[in-house]
Amino acid sequence: MTTNETVNRSEKSGPAPAGKPQRRGFFAAGQYIPYALLLPAIVVLVGVLAYPLFRLFDLAFQNVNRYAYLVNPSLSKYIGFEGFSKILGDHQFWEVVLRSIYFTAELVILSMVLSMLIALLLNRVSNWARVTVITVMMFVWAIPALVNGQVFRWLFSANGGVVDYLAFLVTGDESWKHYDWFADPNVGLYVVGASVIIWGALPFLVLGLYAALTQVPAELTEAARLDGANAFQVFRHVTIPVIRPFLMISAALSFIWDFQVFAQIFSLRNTSPEPGYWTIGTYLYMNGIVRSRYSESSVISIVMILMMLAVLVFYIRQMLKIGANER
């Protein structure tokens, strides 16, 4: 039994709205689409890397060299963690690791700073100058690393080197005409080696940073200047926060490339780098290829991979923090 008041209220309120039909299935609401798009790439990576990584870890627990591998395979046997103990207990290995860390830190810092300065300059020059610089950088980027090493070996040669001749013209000191940049490994590695590697890394970093700088909204920089901020304050508080994701990506990639650098040092020292020039990449080559210590080189590779993974974990955590702050 209903009253007139109940009927009037029902007529005013109208029928209850129909519920929105719920989509069902794997791609409901689109939340699984990114994972589905990533799946083919993951399958390819696993297919390409699974067996080499398995063989790498398998060799690390064996005692395999060229003779045991090619002449008498019966000599190969599993030795457990003995190979790890031998490598991790070798003072030369840790000397190489420390040298690689110092060298990588130098390369990453200098390349990032120089690239940022050049990118800021490109943002201010005329269009024709910008196109010229970018064209030259693309040409430098196309040159193989071994060729860059050969060119810099000639530039810094003690007999007729261009750098020695220019130093003589500037200083007037005859001793510069035959200065040997490679006599001291510290000078040869941290000056000449760093120069050739940074030279090859600049194009990618400069072009990437320049593209990132073009994404900084002009309204933000103009508002900061109207508030009284100087050029450095605008760069620190406006530009850097906007381009921070690319800075993180480029720094992580630079670390990965520079930590395992090999071709430039190999070419600079005419395919025979001395122990003072050994970084982790050249040390791995000397043990695995020259000395044919396959198991020891596998251990070195595993340690190298773990060190790079530690940096990648730090990088991913920072990127996730940046993403969370931007939401």
Q: What is the pLDDT of residues 80-113, one digit of tens each?
A: 899 899 999 999 999 999 999 999 999 999 999 9
Identify whether 12 is part of a domain.
no
Q: What is the pLDDT of residues 121-135, one digit of tens each?
A: 998 888 899 999 999
DSSP label at residue 73? G
pLDDT at position 311 is 80
Domains in the chain: how many in total? 1
Q: Is the pLDDT of residue 10 over 50?
A: no
pLDDT at position 27 is 53
Q: What is the pLDDT of residues 68-84, one digit of tens each?
A: 666 677 777 888 899 89
Query: What phi and psi, each to the nearest 5 degrees, are found at residue 205?
Result: -70, -40
Identify whether 33 is part of a domain.
no
pLDDT at position 18 is 52
Rounded to the nearest integer, the mean pLDDT of the chain is 85
pLDDT at position 28 is 53
SS3 category, 293 = coil
Q: What is the pLDDT of residues 40-50, one digit of tens each?
A: 989 998 888 88
Which run of H or of E encompasses 148?
helix 145-155
CA distance 193 to 258: 11
Identify whether 234 is part of a domain.
yes
At 321, is the pLDDT very low, low, confident or very high (cuts 50, 70, 90)?
confident
What average pLDDT score do residues 290-301 get? 89
What average pLDDT score do residues 237-252 get? 88
Q: What is the pLDDT of residues 12-37, one digit of tens each?
A: 555 555 555 555 555 555 677 888 88
What average pLDDT score do residues 183-189 get? 93
Q: Is the pLDDT of residue 305 over 80?
A: yes
CA 25 to chain centre: 39
Non-local (6+) Cβ contacts of 196 within 8 A are 148, 149, 151, 152, 264, 268
What average pLDDT score do residues 51-80 get? 81
Identify whether 246 is part of a domain.
yes
Q: Is the pLDDT of residue 1 over 60?
A: no
Q: Is the pLDDT of residue 195 over 90?
A: yes
CATH number at residue 124: 1.10.3720.10
Identify whether 188 is part of a domain.
yes
- Residue, of 322 and 307, whose pLDDT is higher: 307
Q: Comparing C-alpha atoms, which of 199, 203, 198, 194 is closest to residue 136?
A: 203
Identify whether 140 is part of a domain.
yes
What average pLDDT score do residues 200-208 get? 92
In contact, 193 and 277? CB cutoff 8 Å: yes
SS3 category, 62 = strand
Domain that holds residue 263: 91-326
Identify whether 73 is part of a domain.
no
What average pLDDT score do residues 210-230 get? 89
Identify whether 28 is part of a domain.
no
Expressed in angstroms, the distance from the first to the final Cα of the chain is 54
pLDDT at position 182 is 93
Half-sphere exposure of 157 (CA within 13 A, CB side): 11
CA distance 181 to 185: 8
SS3 category, 184 = coil
At 210, is the pLDDT very low, low, confident or very high (cuts 50, 70, 90)?
very high
CA distance 282 to 275: 9
Q: Comparing C-alpha atoms, which of 297, 277, 301 is closest to residue 149?
A: 277
- Residue, of 318 and 176, whose pLDDT is higher: 176
